Structure 1
Amino acid sequence: MSDDLNLPPLDSYSYKPLRKQIYENLRESILDGILKPGEKITEMEIASELDVSRTPVREAIQMLELENLVAVVPKRGIFIAGIKSKKEINDLFQVRAELEGLAAYLAAREMNQEILNRLEQHIVDLEDCLDENELDECVEIEISFHQIIYDTADNIWLKKMLDNLFEQINRFRSSSLDREGRMRQTLEELRELVEALREEEPEKARARAREHIEQARKSIIEVFDEVYDEE
């Protein structure tokens, strides 16, 4: 347990309820990797670091538990949740592949030149940041690329489910994308997806999206094996 969690300060001018501010603060810290899977935290240290009482911290923890971002273990404490097994990774990606495929299918039916231009610009930007070895920026560009497809698919429940899955997986993604060649492979997969969308071929777009997610699954499984072999 750390003496200093390095949490960002709360916004003293925010009109949001305190529990919501604390929830967003902790959630961001988890997704950004400041708080790492398996790390133990306590209400007291969070309250002390953020200079708040324990009640809104407890409420924020309950909200995070509902999203499976923390695990509250009786008689042991509060832990940052992590992916526990290859089966869990495979289960997540099995669902994500189907949902991403559906999003691409729906997007292909709604495709227009303005959306294609945005996707193509993301491909250019992704290649540029790869040449400059700016991994964090590359990840943000890829996320934005997918968000364009989700928005074009125009199904609010599909987008919510994909966003939730993305966040569950995201803490492993940076490590997998850092592997030699994986981000270049991602770039080519996204190029093929854009081509299917340009052709307005829904089934082809679905297949390309699913292939992209399958390659991502394989890469994350390799990272998982390396992490747990080291332990």
Structure 2
Amino acid sequence: MATSTQDPLSFSRLVALDDKRPTYPQSLVELAYEQLLSMLVTMKIAPGGHISIEALARQLEISQTPIREALTLLEAQKLAYKIPNVGFRAAELLTRQEVHDLFELRLLIEPAAAAFAAEKANDEALRALETLAEEMSRQQTGNELAYAQFAEGDARLHQLVTAASGNRFIAETVEGLHVHLHIFRFLFRTNATAKAVQEHEAIVSALLARDPAGAEQAMRNHLLASRGRMTLALDEQERLAGANLSPEGGGRPRRGRARKR
């Protein structure tokens, strides 16, 4: 039976599930969640593709019940969706316009949230951010599961910053975007993680220094750099789509939206 290699500080355990916490044995749901997250973020399951619960149950040698629980969590993150009488499918990739609009909104609110957090965050929140940033710096290289965990950690870091701003409307807006994991789907097999680690460290350093202007600028720099990486990934995606080739180089015709860089 497949086993999880995560330690107690893994990013999946840092994401608060609250009332969505599964009632079935947590280790099995986490195992299914981690494997599905990895397959979705690295696009082993193609955007819009069918998610075979039966096949994954055979692969992991577990029942279908925890896999369904895991898919419910991923549906809440907008990474999967359920079609009645059909089953679950992976979410489509964001369009270029959607990416543009999301970054416009994030640039309006997240730098201000970082400035507020530098002024208002309590010591516990700052320690959590520092711990998460340190964990992510150790997780930036590795296999596909490690990449998915890093993407999830990135989402958690931004949620912690906005929560520390003290403005629940800002925090709810950013959390409701469900954008971070989708962005990392475009950036798989790039050097995004190494660059993001440095940018996160700058944000956290400014927060720890209680420097509102520095935190605001560090967050703005991070978002601008992330938008630049996304632009390059989108350009590559469109180049591949224009060549009518799969990104794996197999020469297979592409169906629907371009899949990844």
TM-score between both structures, scaled by the size of structure 2: 0.56
| TM-aligned CA distance change 1:190 to 1:177, over 3 Å | farther
| TM-aligned CA distance change 1:218 to 1:30, over 3 Å | farther
String of CA shifts for 1:6-57, please: whole Å, max 9, x gaps: xxxxxxxx999xxxxxxxxxxx99976546434479xxxxxxxxxxxxxxxx
Q: Which residue of 160, 163, 170 corresponds with 2:181?
A: 170
Structure 2: state its 5+ residue gaps: 1-20, 24-33, 52-74, 82-87, 246-261
Tell me the residue number matched to 1:23. none
String of CA shifts for 1:154-212, please: whole Å, max 9, x gaps: 3222222212323x4523314415313x2111111111111211222223212211211
Q: Which residue of 140, 158, 162 corresponds with 1:146?
A: 158
Tell me the residue number matched to 2:125. 115
TM-score between both structures, scaled by the size of structure 1: 0.62
What is the SS of the residue equivalent to 2:183? helix
State the one-letter code of the partner of 1:210: R
Hey, what's the Cα distance between the residues in 2 that align with 1:169 and 1:127? 17
Does the 8 Å contact 2:187/2:233 carry over to 1? yes
State the one-letter code of the partner of 1:178: R
What is the SS of the residue equivalent to 1:98? helix
Tell me the residue number matched to 2:209. 199
Tell me the residue number matched to 1:87. 97
Does the 8 Å contact 1:105/1:202 carry over to 2? yes
Larger proportion of helix: 1
Q: Which residue of 96, 100, 104 corresponds with 2:110?
A: 100
String of CA shifts for 1:77-106, please: whole Å, max 9, x gaps: x98653454232111111112221122122
Hey, what's the Cα distance between the residues in 1 that align with 2:98 and 2:157? 25
| TM-aligned CA distance change 1:102 to 1:33, over 3 Å | farther
Hey, what's the Cα distance between the residues in 2 that align with 1:208 and 1:202? 10
What is the SS of the residue equivalent to 2:113? helix
Count of matched residue positions in the alignment of Structure 1 and Structure 2: 211
Percent of counterpart pairs with the same letter? 23
Runs (4+) off by over 6 Å = 28-32, 67-71
Hey, what's the Cα distance between the residues in 1 that align with 2:38 and 2:219? 25
| TM-aligned CA distance change 1:164 to 1:178, over 3 Å | farther
